[in-house]
C-alpha cells in the first residue's frame, strides 16, 4: 500500500509539474540561420552546374538542328545567344592570342565591348566513338562558343585543308562534358568531323602533354598535309598543362 501511494504521489507530481520551456535567445536564432544558410548554399553549389549544363544542352540541340539542315560552311547559319548566360568557371583564364572576344567574367583580360547577343556558327559535329563524344563544332575558339561545343581556332588551317586545323574545348572540373574525357583516347583511334555533305575521318597519331606556356608553338603548323589538333586543359585543379591530340586526315566520304 505504501509503495502504491508513493507511486501515485510521484505520478501526481510528475503530471502536475509544468515542463520547463526552451529558452529562446538571439544565439539560437543566429545558429538556426547559419544552418539554413549552409544548407541553401550547398544546394546552390550542387544544382548550379547541373542547371547550366541543362541550358547548354538546349543550345547544343539547336545547333545540331542547324547542322542537320545542311548549313553551308561558306555561308553558315547560326543561332544567337546571351553572352552573359551559362558561363563556365575559369573560362577567362584561357588566352589563345585573340582578345576580341567579350569577357563577361569581370576579368580585365579582354577589353572588347560586350554585345547584347553573340552568334554561334556551327561548322559541323566533332565525334570520337571511344569516349562517346558528339559535340557541335563551332567557328571560333573564343569564350562564348566554347560554352556550347568545340571551337575551331580561325588563325589555324581550314578544316580538311592543307596544314593543321586547331580545335579547342574545355575540360570540366565537376562533370565529364566537352573535352573532359579526351585524356582517355589512344593512338590509332578515329576522330570524325561531320560537315554538310561529307564526313572527314582522322586517325590519332600522337598525344602530348605540355606546359600551358608552350601552346603557342603548336597552334599553327602549315607544313603538314592535312590534320587536326585537339587541345584542352589538363592537371586539375591547377590546369597548368595542355593536352594535345594530333590526328591526320585518312578519309573523306560524302553523306
**Has residue 11 been placed in a domain?**
no
Host H or E run for residue 169:
none
**Has residue 14 been placed in a domain?**
no
| CATH code where residue 120 lies | 2.40.260.10
Residue 172: its pLDDT value, please? 87
- 8 A C-beta contact, residue 234 and residue 244: no
Residue 255: its pLDDT value, please? 83
| Cross-strand bridge partners of residue 79 | 120
Residue 197: its pLDDT value, please? 86
For residue 65, give its domain range. 25-254
**Has residue 2 been placed in a domain?**
no
C-alpha closest to that of 144 among 87, 94, 213: 87
89, burial (CB in 10 Å: exposed 0-12, middle 13-18, buried 19+): middle
116-132 pLDDT, tens digit per residue, is 889 999 999 999 999 99
Host H or E run for residue 231:
strand 226-234
**Has residue 67 been placed in a domain?**
yes
**Has residue 219 been placed in a domain?**
yes
246, burial (CB in 10 Å: exposed 0-12, middle 13-18, buried 19+): buried
Cβ-Cβ contacts under 8 Å for 206 (sequence gap 6 or more): 187, 244, 245, 246
Predicted structure pTM score:
0.75
In percent, the amount of the chain with pLDDT more than 70 equals 74
As a whole number, mean pLDDT of residues 182-186 equals 97
67-81 pLDDT, tens digit per residue, is 887 544 444 578 999
Residue 93: its pLDDT value, please? 59
Strand blocks (E) in 105-173: 118-120, 122-128, 133-139, 150-152, 163-168
**Has residue 240 been placed in a domain?**
yes
**Has residue 8 been placed in a domain?**
no
Mean residue pLDDT of the chain comes to: 81
**Has residue 174 been placed in a domain?**
yes
Q: Omega into 237 within 30° of 0, i.e. cis?
A: yes
Residue 108: its pLDDT value, please? 41
Host H or E run for residue 227:
strand 226-234
Grid cell in block for residue 61: 540541340
Residue 174: its pLDDT value, please? 76
The whole-angstrom distance between residue 173's C-alpha and the CA centroid of its chain comes to 8
Indicate the number of domains in the chain: 1
As a whole number, mean pLDDT of residues 15-34 equals 64
Residue 24 or 89, more confident: 89
Band (100; pLDDT cuts 50, 70, 90)? very low
Residue 20 CA to residue 9 CA, distance in Å, equals 20
Residue 192 CA to residue 24 CA, distance in Å, equals 67
Residue 196 CA to residue 69 CA, distance in Å, equals 8
Amino acid at each position: 500500500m505504501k509503495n502504491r501511494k508513493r507511486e501515485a504521489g510521484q505520478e501526481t507530481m510528475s503530471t502536475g509539474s509544468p515542463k520547463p520551456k526552451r529558452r529562446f535567445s538571439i544565439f539560437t536564432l543566429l545558429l538556426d540561420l547559419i544552418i539554413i544558410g549552409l544548407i541553401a548554399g550547398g544546394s546552390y553549389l550542387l544544382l548550379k552546374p547541373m542547371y547550366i549544363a541543362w541550358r547548354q544542352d538546349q543550345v547544343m540541340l539547336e545547333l545540331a538542328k542547324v547542322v542537320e539542315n545542311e548549313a553551308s560552311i561558306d555561308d553558315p547559319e547560326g543561332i544567337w545567344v546571351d553572352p552573359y548566360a551559362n558561363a563556365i568557371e575559369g573560362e577567362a583564364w584561357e588566352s589563345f592570342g585573340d582578345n576580341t572576344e567579350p569577357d563577361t567574367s569581370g576579368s580585365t583580360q579582354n577589353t572588347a565591348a560586350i554585345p547584347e547577343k553573340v552568334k554561334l556558327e556551327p561548322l559541323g559535329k566533332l565525334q570520337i566513338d571511344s569516349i562517346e563524344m558528339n559535340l557541335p563544332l563551332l567557328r571560333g575558339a573564343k569564350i562564348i562558343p566554347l560554352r556550347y561545343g568545340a571551337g575551331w581556332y580561325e588563325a589555324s588551317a581550314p578544316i580538311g585543308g592543307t596544314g593543321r586545323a586547331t580545335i579547342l574545348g574545355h575540360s570540366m572540373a565537376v562533370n565529364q562534358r566537352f573535352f573532359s574525357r579526351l585524356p582517355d583516347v589512344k593512338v590509332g583511334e578515329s576522330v570524325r568531323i561531320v560537315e554538310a555533305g561529307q564526313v572527314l575521318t582522322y586517325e590519332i597519331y600522337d598525344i602530348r602533354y605540355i606546359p600551358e606556356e608552350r601552346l603557342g608553338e603548336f597552334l599553327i603548323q602549315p607544313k603538314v598535309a592535312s590534320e587536326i589538333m585537339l587541345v584542352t586543359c589538363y592537371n586539375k585543379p591547377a590546369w597548368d598543362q595542355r593536352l594535345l591530340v594530333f590526328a591526320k586526315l585518312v578519309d573523306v566520304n560524302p553523306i
